[in-house]
């Protein structure tokens, strides 16, 4: 006899449910196994033994100040990290401490010390991200061995991570929830948490924080952070892509493609090989040991481990080779403007330059309590310059923060820690026109009454910087700094001081003005820029070059060239300088041409016109940045952009040729548009 239909359906339902449950369980087990493999691959057994020996009977470590309530470098976080280190030593199969009863008891004491006191910090990050993220691996590694109290209290602390916030903070919060679900065996929570991370791997809406349409990453009131929060985002998101591959939690293909683009079209442009551009690091420039990192190689190699291979695998391999400084790694060549971040990067073999400005759309810098105390000039037209990397390695405690490279700054009174300022610019006009190889950058600068029109032409000539209309109502000295970096090798100065050569770079004025310079040894400490770091004296030798505009300048100007140069031969330097022609440098128009590369750049701060050699008169009906390149055929490629990001169209005339450019809007506002004309 057969069972009645209702019973047959019930049995079928149970079978299907068991199958679904079994499939989910298999995926949970697969993710747990991959996490454990990663965590246990490299366990510092010597460090674990040291911490085990130092742990007191009450579960505390004697070297940690548990009364500390600082919002950065909180020692209680170290307690949580040490407990997890002990858990890894207990679980690692090849560990001499594996399954050691005394070690297991020590782990329990360390956890109980925390659970009984429930340490919290006024900085929410520690409570919702830092501590849960540090505790979670240890709890998951001991999942089947946890006591009821350890399980209850551990999950309670992890539950403080709410799936909210934006960008990298959200990734951290959601991953903590996924780990909580893996500990509790809650497949629904795991799916929701990993699903929310997948949703965050996206281009955010205008005005929001996170990955932008140009592949910059903005965080903390829209401050550029590709090498700060963006580094964590790249590493964590690609790691999760590998962790979840082949399971029901796997990231969709379009999210993988965006991670590729974030690395290849975004972060890799902001630095030279492994050396990160300090303009894209936010407040992390004030942290010891930052600036040189392999995170981009790690992220690229993680994507290359996926099956199927990512679409841009060859580019990822090239990126990893450059960051690993592999011999014969292909050079990155070109120019890229990040119109959502007011940042322009320029690459040639053996030369990197960038310009960072800020507008009314963006924050200039980021600081947190005692960290990054003097950095509010960091977006005032700052330029980073590198030929081999390391030019700014650990230089920041020694910097004169009123002489940041590229900036035009008032020199008095001296900055004090209380003057740290995170703020948007007062003007909208900041941007660049770029054709992918060269760029013309424009910046209508104003800070506290000091104003200037600043432009940079980035081409095969190198970096040409123009300044005009420099005016300050205060009767204080004003200077424009060309560079402030570590002193390396000889410093050669021309007899008339109109050029100098240092560390592979030529610095030359183009208007006959004398350069000022100094090279000196300085003493400082990391505490000078981060009050929670060491005050032990450190020393370094610095090189600085600048232009002096005097006190209270009125309509001052400058024009200078910075370019890689292997020689100090005066004739060759003269030839380099003469290859650059300044067509205009006023508060209305700034323009420069480089005949050898057949490239020119113009900035119009209002509708205007300019004589443009054999091509005739160039005129525009709106403020804009223009980049022009030409060839022997007589055609000329014209690239335009609206740095103010407010115009819908631009009408341009060059000789007899006329063109109307429809300018991008929305997320693309500020991006460049190119047309070919035959004047």
Torsion of the alpha carbons at 538, 61, 84 and 128, rounded to the nearest 10 = -80
CA torsion sign, 431 to 433 to 439 to 442?
negative
**How high is the pLDDT of residue 611?**
95
Q: Which residues of 161-199 are buried (b: 16+ CB within 10 A; e: fewer)?
A: bebebebbbbbbbbbbbbbbbbbeebbebbbebbbbbbe
Q: Which residue has the tokens 């580094």?
A: 231
Q: What are the residue ranges spanned by the domains of the chain?
A: 24-200, 202-332, 335-579
Which residues neighbour 152 within 8 Å (Cβ) at sequence distance 6 or greater?
none
Q: Are 534 and 501 in contact (CB under 8 A)?
A: no
Task: Find, among 162, 227, 236, 228, the residue nearest to 198 by Cα.
Answer: 236
pLDDT tens for residues 149-177? 999 999 999 999 999 877 788 889 999 99
CATH class for the domain made up of 24-200: mainly alpha
Question: What's the confidence (pLDDT) of residue 17?
Answer: 40
Lookup: tokens for 244: 């979840």
| C-alpha to C-alpha distance for 422 and 278, rounded to whole angstroms | 17
Regions in the chain scoring below 50 on pLDDT: 1-2, 8-21
- Is the domain defined by 335-579 classed in CATH 2.70.98.10? yes
Task: Give the pLDDT confidence score for residue 70 in this predicted structure.
Answer: 83
What tokens appear for 482 in the block? 């060309």
Q: Which residue has the tokens 């701060």?
A: 605
Distance CA(362)–CA(279), nearest Å, equals 14
Q: Which CATH superfamily is domain 202-332 in?
A: Chondroitin AC/alginate lyase (1.50.10.100)
pLDDT at 366 (0 to 100): 83
Give the pLDDT of residue 369: 72
- CA 323/CA 325 separation, integer angstroms: 5
- What would the DSSP string read from start to end of 118-132? ----SSHHIIIIIHH
Q: Helical H runs in 535-625?
A: 570-578
Q: What would the two tokens of residue 246 be?
A: 């082949």
314: three-class secondary structure by DSSP: helix
The predicted structure's pLDDT at residue 41: 93
Q: Do domains 24-200 and 202-332 have the same CATH topology?
A: yes
What pLDDT digit, counting tens, does each position of 76-88 carry? Answer: 999 999 999 999 9
**Cα atoms found within 13 Å of the Cα of residue 665, Cβ hemisphere only:** 6
What letter would DSSP give residue 608? Answer: E
Cα(420)–Cα(416) distance, rounded to whole angstroms? 8
**pLDDT at res. 452:** 98
């Amino acid at each position: 006899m057969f069972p009645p239909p209702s019973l047959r359906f019930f049995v079928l339902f149970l079978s299907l449910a068991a199958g679904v449950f079994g499939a989910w369980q298999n995926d949970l087990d697969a993710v747990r196994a991959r996490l454990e493999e990663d965590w246990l691959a490299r366990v510092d057994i010597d460090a674990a033994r040291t911490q085990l020996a130092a742990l007191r009977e009450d579960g505390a470590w004697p070297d940690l100040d548990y009364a500390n309530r600082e919002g950065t470098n909180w020692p209680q976080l170290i307690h949580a990290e040490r407990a997890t280190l002990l858990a890894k030593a207990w679980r690692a199969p090849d560990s001499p401490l594996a399954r050691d009863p005394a070690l297991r008891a020590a782990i329990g004491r360390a956890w109980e010390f925390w659970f009984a006191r429930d340490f919290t910090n006024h900085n929410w990050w520690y409570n919702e991200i830092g501590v849960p993220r540090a505790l979670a691996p240890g709890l998951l590694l001991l999942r089947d061995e946890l006591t009821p109290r350890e399980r209850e209290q551990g999950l309670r602390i992890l539950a403080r991570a709410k799936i909210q916030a934006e960008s990298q903070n959200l990734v951290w919060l959601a991953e903590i929830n996924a780990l909580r679900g893996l500990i509790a065996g809650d497949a629904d929570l795991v799916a929701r948490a990993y699903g929310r991370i997948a949703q965050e791997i996206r281009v955010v809406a205008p005005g929001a924080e996170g990955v932008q349409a140009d592949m910059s990453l903005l965080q903390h009131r829209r401050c550029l952070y590709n090498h700060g929060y963006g580094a964590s985002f790249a590493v964590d998101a690609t790691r999760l892509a590998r962790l979840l591959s082949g399971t029901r939690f796997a990231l969709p293909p379009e999210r993988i493609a965006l991670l590729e683009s974030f690395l290849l079209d975004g972060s890799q442009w902001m630095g030279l090989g492994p050396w990160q551009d300090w303009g894209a690091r936010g407040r992390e420039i004030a942290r010891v040991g930052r600036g040189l990192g392999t995170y981009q190689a790690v992220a690229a190699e993680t994507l290359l481990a996926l099956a199927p291979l990512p679409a841009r695998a060859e580019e990822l391999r090239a990126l990893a080779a450059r960051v690993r400084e592999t011999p014969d790694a292909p050079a990155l060549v070109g120019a890229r403007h990040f119109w959502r971040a007011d940042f322009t990067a320029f690459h040639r073999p053996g030369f990197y330059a960038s310009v960072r400005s800020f507008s009314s759309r963006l924050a200039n810098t980021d600081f947190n309590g005692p960290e990054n105390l003097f950095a509010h000039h960091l977006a005032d037209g700052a330029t980073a310059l590198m030929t081999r990397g390391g030019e700014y390695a650990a230089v920041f405690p020694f910097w004169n923060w009123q002489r940041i490279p590229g900036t035009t700054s008032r020199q008095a009174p001296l900055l004090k820690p209380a003057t740290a300022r995170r703020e948007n610019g007062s003007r909208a006009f900041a941007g660049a026109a770029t054709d992918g190889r060269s760029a013309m950058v424009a910046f209508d600068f104003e800070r506290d009454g000091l104003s200037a029109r600043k432009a940079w032409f980035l081409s095969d000539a190198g970096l040409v910087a123009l300044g005009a209309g420099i005016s300050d109502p205060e009767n204080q000295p004003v200077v424009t700094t060309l560079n402030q970096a570590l002193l390396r090798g000889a410093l050669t100065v021309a007899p008339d001081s109109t050029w100098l050569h240092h560390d592979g770079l030529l610095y030359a004025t183009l208007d006959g003005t004398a350069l000022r310079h100094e090279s000196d040894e300085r003493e400082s400490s990391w505490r000078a820029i981060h009050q929670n770091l060491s005050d032990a004296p450190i020393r370094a030798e610095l090189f600085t070059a600048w232009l002096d505009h005097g006190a209270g300048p009125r309509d001052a100007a400058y024009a200078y060239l910075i370019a890689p140069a292997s020689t100090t031969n005066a004739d060759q330097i003269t030839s380099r300088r003469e290859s650059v022609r300044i067509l205009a440098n006023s508060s209305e128009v700034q323009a420069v041409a480089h005949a050898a590369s057949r490239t020119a750049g113009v900035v119009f701060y209002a509708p205007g016109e300019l004589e443009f050699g054999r091509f005739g008169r160039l005129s525009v009906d709106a403020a804009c940045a223009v980049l022009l390149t030409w060839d022997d055929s007589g055609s000329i490629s014209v690239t335009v952009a609206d740095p103010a990001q407010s115009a819908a169209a631009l009408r341009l005339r060059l000789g007899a040729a006329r063109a109307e450019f429809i300018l991008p809007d929305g997320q693309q506002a500020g991006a460049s548009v190119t047309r070919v004309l035959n004047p």
